[in-house]
Amino acid sequence: MKAFSQTMKRELRQLLEVALDGWNGVYERFKNVMYNHGDYSQWEDFRDKRKLKRMMEWLKSHDIEPEFI
pLDDT in the model for residue 67: 86
pLDDT in the model for residue 68: 79
pLDDT tens per residue, range 2-56? 999 999 999 999 999 999 999 899 999 999 999 999 999 999 999 999 999 999 9
Please tell me the pTM assigned to this model.
0.81
Q: Give domain status of residue 16, yes or no.
A: yes
Q: Give domain status of residue 67, yes or no.
A: no
Amino acid in position 7? T
Q: Give domain status of residue 69, yes or no.
A: no
Range(s) of the domain holding residue 39 = 2-61
Number of structural domains (the chain) is 1
pLDDT in the model for residue 45: 97
Q: Give domain status of residue 24, yes or no.
A: yes
Q: Give domain status of residue 45, yes or no.
A: yes
**Would you tell me how many other CB atoms lie within 10 Å of the CB of residue 29?**
18
* Euclidean distance between CA atoms 37 and 9, whole angstroms: 11
Q: Give domain status of residue 29, yes or no.
A: yes
Tell me if 20 sits within 8 A of 10, measured CB to CB: no
Whether residue 69 has pLDDT greater than 90: no
